[in-house]
Amino acid sequence: MEQTRGFIVPVGGAEEKIGDVVILRRFATLCGGGGRGCRIAIIPTASEVSDTGHRYEELFHNLGVKEAQSLPIASRSDCQRREWLDVLDKVDGVFLTGGNQLRLSTMIGGTEVAKALRRRNAEGMHVAGTSAGAAFLCEHMIAFGREGASPRAKIVTMAPGLGLTNKVIIDQHFRQRDRLGRLLTALAYNPFAIGIGLDENTSAFIAPDDTFEVVGGGALTIVDPSELEFSSMAHVRKNDPVCLIGLRLHVLDHGSTFNIRTRKAAAGAAGSPSFPPRRK
């Protein structure tokens, strides 16, 4: 019998953790939060702050999650721990925290934990990641790169990510850190995937059918290279601007949707209430 993949939920970082925690609440509800058996595992590997995992445990418990357990993976050998692999076999969702995405790729990539995350997501378990955790979800990950609005040759370094999907490339803290240029550069290397730029406190809930809804208080930028007519990437020297002709761009807000397969965007329902302003 064909199985249904779980949701993939990249978050742009700095999601609300006090008050109307709409993104975390939506993820907890998706995983069955409020139900008697809901379980979520937290992987704080990207962060070097010691209490990150514990903080998310408390946040998810307050949202009705029965069991929220941090797996503080700090080395590749930790990824072989049978008790933690058993946890991943039983949970309804996994949440990867922010920090440095290279900590995730170098410690988890190619391990039993990475295999378990891909297998369980294919079986229906939901996987979310915020900031560095969001970048790591895809097959092609932006490891690091320079900021700025224009694409420039060799300003971005790519690395293999977790590989839950190869259809998108994700960049986070998008508007706040002026990252349009590096997302465009990443797409110019091979314009197969769709680029998703996530503002802070903004997420995409990517369903098994590859449609997603925008949830949060910022904007989500879509860069669609499927109709790209020309790219100068193969001819320019390091730091030179890259000429790209034929890109399509959408800016979506809370409640808007996008279909990755058909490349169609739709605004949220007319007259729907706007998202509440962020706390200062």
pLDDT at 271 over 50: no
Residues contacting residue 46 through CB under 8 Å, at least 6 positions apart:
96, 97, 98, 99, 100, 101, 103, 104, 131, 132, 133, 136
pLDDT at 165 over 60: yes
67-115 tens-digit pLDDT: 999 999 999 999 999 999 999 999 999 999 999 999 999 999 999 999 9
Is 206 within a domain?
yes
Altogether, the residues listed in the chain come to a count of: 280
Is 73 within a domain?
yes
pLDDT score at 275: 58
Task: Quote the CA–CA distance of 158 and 169 in Å, as a whole number.
Answer: 10
pLDDT at 270 over 90: no
pLDDT at 273 over 90: no
Mean pLDDT computed over every residue of the chain? 95
The distance of Cα 102 from the centroid of its chain, to the nearest Å, equals 14
Helices 22-30 + 52-62 axis angle, to 10:
70
pLDDT score at 280: 45
Is 130 within a domain?
yes
pLDDT score at 272: 53
Task: Quote the CA–CA distance of 7 and 205 in Å, as a whole number.
Answer: 7
Is 276 within a domain?
no
Is 127 within a domain?
yes
**Count: domains in the chain:** 1
Catalytic entry in 16, 105, 140, 173: 173
**Would residue 200 show up in a list of annotated catalytic residues for this protein?**
yes
Is 230 within a domain?
yes
**Would residue 173 show up in a list of annotated catalytic residues for this protein?**
yes
pLDDT score at 3: 80
**Would residue 126 show up in a list of annotated catalytic residues for this protein?**
no
Catalytic entry in 70, 105, 131, 231: 131
Is 2 within a domain?
no
pLDDT score at 269: 83
The residue-averaged pLDDT of 3-13 equals 96
13-53 tens-digit pLDDT: 999 999 989 999 999 999 998 766 899 999 999 999 999 99
CATH number at residue 209: 3.40.50.880
Catalytic entry in 15, 16, 200, 213: 200
171-226 tens-digit pLDDT: 999 999 999 999 999 999 999 999 999 999 999 999 999 999 999 999 999 999 99
pLDDT score at 84: 98
What is the C-alpha radius of gyration for the chain, rounded to an integer number of angstroms?
Answer: 18
Sheet architecture: strand order including 93-96: 67-70, 39-43, 93-96, 126-130, 8-11, 202-206, 211-216, 257-259, 264-266
Domain span at residue 30? 8-266
pLDDT score at 277: 54
Is 100 within a domain?
yes
Q: Determine the 3-state secondary structure of 51 from DSSP.
A: coil
What is the pTM for the complete model shown? 0.96
